[in-house]
């Protein structure tokens, strides 16, 4: 089945925040994002319902925009308690392992608890939480072109096996072996 839709990338990803200003300040200071735009409305444009909000946008690089909504009239923000905290996260790319290590030092120097670096075979990453409780990951690619090509080749086989068995397929054992080195 071929879709008539041709996507041009992600316009923005939007999440909820507790405090728009605190969120903008944190992402600028901790991750170097640039605050670009804000919309404040009393009525939701898509539904017309009354629900005042502040919608802020931050440039994450390469045309990628991260947005947040502050919703003061809604119940306190929470998270999906049936999903482990490590699952839902925002992941951003950094250019090298040296940049990843420097980012970790910067975050820790500013009082942010950081986990990692964690080795994932073809990339390494660190993890931490923003002031809203969103888990954030910074990752740097370390794989070879051959490794990425092999992962692309086995992806359909892995998905098919997972769909049948719900057990982790090991079509790329080298990926897991490298992570344990």
Residue 87 lies in a domain: no
Q: How far apart are CA 43 and CA 85, in angstroms?
A: 32
Instruction: Please identify, among 26, 42, 76, the residue that sits at the C-terminal boundary of a domain.
Output: 76
pLDDT of residue 169: 81
Q: What is the CATH number of the domain that holds 64?
A: 3.10.180.10
pLDDT of residue 143: 94
User: Where residue 124 falls among pLDDT bands split at 50, 70, 90?
Assistant: very high
pLDDT of residue 171: 75
pLDDT digits (tens, 9 = 90+) for 50-88: 999 999 999 999 999 999 999 999 999 998 999 999 999
Q: With 60 as the cut, is the pLDDT of residue 181 above it? A: no
Q: With 90 as the cut, is the pLDDT of residue 180 above it? A: no
Q: What is the mean pLDDT of residues 82-106?
A: 96
Residue 19 lies in domain: 8-76
Residue 115 lies in a domain: no
Q: How far apart are CA 61 and CA 95, in angstroms?
A: 12
Residue 152, exposed/middle/buried by CB under 10 A (0-12, 13-18, 19+)? exposed
28 φ/ψ sector (left φ>0, alpha ψ -120 to 50, else beta): alpha
Tell me the pTM.
0.91
Number of domains in the chain: 2
Q: With 70 as the cut, is the pLDDT of residue 178 above it? A: no
130 CB neighbour count, 10 Å cutoff: 20
Residue 173 lies in a domain: yes
Residue 36 lies in a domain: yes
- Our CA dihedral for 104, 107, 110, 112, rounded to 10 degrees, sits at -110
Q: With 70 as the cut, is the pLDDT of residue 179 above it? A: no
Q: Which residue has the tokens 């910067």?
A: 106
Residue 51 lies in a domain: yes
% the chain with pLDDT above 70: 97
Q: With 60 as the cut, is the pLDDT of residue 136 above it? A: yes
pLDDT of residue 93: 96
Instruction: Please identify, among 27, 61, 76, the residue that sits at the C-terminal boundary of a domain.
Output: 76
Q: What is the mean pLDDT of residues 117-124?
A: 95
Residue 154 lies in a domain: yes
Instruction: Please identify, among 76, 94, 109, the residue that sits at the C-terminal boundary of a domain.
Output: 76
Is residue 71 within 8 A of residue 51, CB to CB? The reply is: yes
Q: What is the mean pLDDT of residues 103-123?
A: 97
Residue 1 lies in a domain: no
pLDDT digits (tens, 9 = 90+) for 14-33: 999 999 999 999 999 999 99
pLDDT of residue 102: 97
- Within the chain, where are the H helices? 20-31, 97-109, 145-165, 173-179
Q: What is the mean pLDDT of residues 131-157?
A: 95
Residue 96 lies in a domain: no
């Amino acid at each position: 089945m071929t879709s008539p839709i041709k996507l041009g990338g992600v316009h923005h990803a939007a999440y909820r925040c507790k405090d728009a200003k605190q969120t903008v300040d944190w992402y600028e200071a901790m991750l170097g994002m640039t605050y670009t735009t804000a919309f404040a409305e009393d009525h939701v444009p898509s539904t017309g319902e009354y629900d005042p909000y502040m919608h802020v946008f931050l440039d994450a690089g390469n045309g990628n925009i991260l947005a947040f909504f502050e919703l003061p009239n809604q119940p306190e923000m929470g998270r999906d308690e049936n999903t482990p905290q490590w699952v839902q996260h925002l992941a951003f790319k950094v250019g090298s392992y040296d940049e990843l290590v420097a980012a970790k030092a910067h975050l820790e120097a500013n009082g942010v608890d950081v986990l990692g670096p964690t080795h994932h075979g073809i990339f390494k990453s660190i993890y931490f939480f923003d002031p809203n409780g969103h888990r954030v990951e910074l990752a740097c690619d370390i794989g070879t072109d051959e490794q990425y090509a092999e992962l692309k080749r086995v992806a359909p086989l892995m998905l098919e096996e997972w769909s049948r068995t719900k057990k982790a397929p090991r079509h790329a054992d080298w990926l897991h072996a490298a992570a344990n080195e």
